[in-house]
Amino acid sequence: KQTTVDFIIDIPYSIKSDNKSYAVDMDNYKLSANYKYIAVPKVDKDAFLIAHITDWEQYNLLEGEANIFFEDTYVGKTLLDLRYAKDTLKLSLGRDKNVTVEREQVKSFTTKQFIGNKKEETKAWSLIVKNNKSQKVNMIIFDQVPVSTLEEIKVNIAEISGAKHDTDTGEIKWDFYIDPKETKTFDLKYSVKYPKSKTLIIE
């Protein structure tokens, strides 16, 4: 209808008169989804599996709490919030311990030196991705480099291993596929030059 949706439950149910609540299936849908792993190793080394579902509007889904099952295993609850979903509905299927990302500081390239009245700090990181699953997966890794809003502070990016760099936010994004049992390494290296009279925390 214009403002409501009626669900006709085709499966007959017998509900006992015992003053208890019962859950019944209203309908079943098989939805096609694209799966991506998302990781922010600066915050958490685990990868989170996200299902991207298109053409979801035709199913008249209801907002609210949803139980998530993946590979026939209950993985937890999520909130089905349709207010901000556009052409693609994104559902988090939780952590997958079979895909990990280690973020290690490369100390041999991490330096601090004085050049005239300037101080220059260099930071270097290695991101090591391991896919212990039996299938190829699509993965996105996010990191970040500093962003300067002052003329006297200069940021130089030396290495991002082919990642996309958002110059406004400093976001670094790797979008790639990784084969079963494969390990990949990405390098992130940048330096910040600023007046030695200032104190900055560079990460």
Distance CA 177, CA 18 (A): 53
Tell me the per-residue pLDDT of 80-90, one tens digit each, with 9 for 90 and over: 877 767 788 88
Hey, what are 30's tokens? 């098989």
Tell me the per-residue pLDDT of 166-199, one tens digit each, with 9 for 90 and over: 999 999 999 999 999 999 999 999 999 989 888 8
Q: What angle do CA 174, 175, 177 make, to 5 degrees?
A: 120
Q: What is the structure's pLDDT at 153?
A: 92
- Higher-scoring residue by pLDDT: 28, 161: 161
Specify whether the CB–CB gap between 88 and 54 falls below 8 A. Answer: yes
Q: Is 107 helix (H, G, I), strand (E, B) or coil?
A: helix
- Higher-scoring residue by pLDDT: 78, 125: 125
Q: Which long-range contacts (CB under 8 A, 24 or more apart) does 59-68 make?
A: 59/29, 59/31, 60/5, 61/89, 66/91, 68/92, 68/93, 68/94
Mean pLDDT, the chain, whole residue set: 88
- Residue 78's pLDDT band, with cuts at 50, 70 and 90, is confident
Tell me the per-residue pLDDT of 27-62, one tens digit each, with 9 for 90 and over: 777 888 899 999 999 999 899 999 888 888 877 787
Mean pLDDT comparison of 7-16, 90-99, 169-178, highest-scoring range:
169-178
Specify whether the CB–CB gap between 29 and 54 falls below 8 A. Answer: no
pTM: 0.80
Q: What is the structure's pLDDT at 1?
A: 66
Q: Is 125 helix (H, G, I), strand (E, B) or coil?
A: strand
Nearest-CA neighbor of 78 among 95, 54, 60? 95
